[in-house]
Structure 1
Amino acid sequence: MLSWSLTFLIIALIAGVLGFTGIAGAAAGIAKVLFFVFLILLIVSALVGAAKGKNPPV
């Protein structure tokens, strides 16, 4: 999930540099949404792991 967010961020940066503002804005919006979904899933996963009492793998 985080790799997709970084991919869209890179696409947004390249499109912005080349002057494609519409594509850059859309890609940046998608990257932002994917990042927050990743962050929420990370927090939920950490809470579920803590509730089960398992230690995270090293």
Structure 2
Amino acid sequence: MYESGENYLETILRLREKNGTVRSIDIAHELNFSKPSVSRAIGILKEDGFLVVGARGD
């Protein structure tokens, strides 16, 4: 994995622990990135098997 991917995953974990759920816009605000950049990174993390996106409560 690459360093920015690890940064995304750590941010997602922190936000999930704090808020219970994580939205792309939350990640974008936390990292000060654009929403399209976050969407692209999330897509790559999902394709590579590092992230599973589920329904609320999963």
Structure index of larger Rg: 1
- Shorter-chain TM band: 0.3 to 0.5
Greater share of residues in helix: 1
What TM-score do you get using the length of structure 1 for normalisation?
Answer: 0.39
What TM-score do you get using the length of structure 2 for normalisation?
Answer: 0.39
Between 1 and 2, higher relative CO (CA 8 Å, sep ≥ 6) is seen in: 1
